[in-house]
Amino acid sequence: MNWADVIEKIEPEIKQIVEDAGYMFVDLVHRREGRSSILSVVIHKDPSVSLKDCEKVSRRVELFLDSVDIIPQRYILEVTSPGLDRKIRRDFEYDIFKGRIARITFIDDEGKVRTTEATLVGIQDEELVVEKDGSLYRIPLSSIKKAVLIPQI
Query: Is this prediction's pTM over 0.75?
Result: no
Residue 99 is predicted with a pLDDT of 92
What pLDDT was estimated at residue 71?
87
Per-position DSSP letters for the chain, written without gaps between them = --HHHHHHHHHHHHHHHHHHTT-EEEEEEEEEETTEEEEEEEEE-SS---HHHHHHHHHHHHHHHHHH----S--EEEEE---TTPBP-STTHHHHTTT-EEEEEEE-TTS-EEEEEEEEEEEETTEEEEEETTEEEEEEGGGEEEEEEPPP-
- For position 82, what pLDDT does the model report? 80
pLDDT tens per residue across all 153 residues of the chain: 788 899 999 999 999 999 999 999 989 999 999 888 999 999 988 788 999 999 999 999 999 999 998 887 889 999 998 877 788 888 888 988 899 999 999 999 999 999 999 999 999 999 999 999 999 999 999 999 999 999 876
Domains of the chain: 3-80 (3.30.300.70), 93-149 (2.30.30.520)
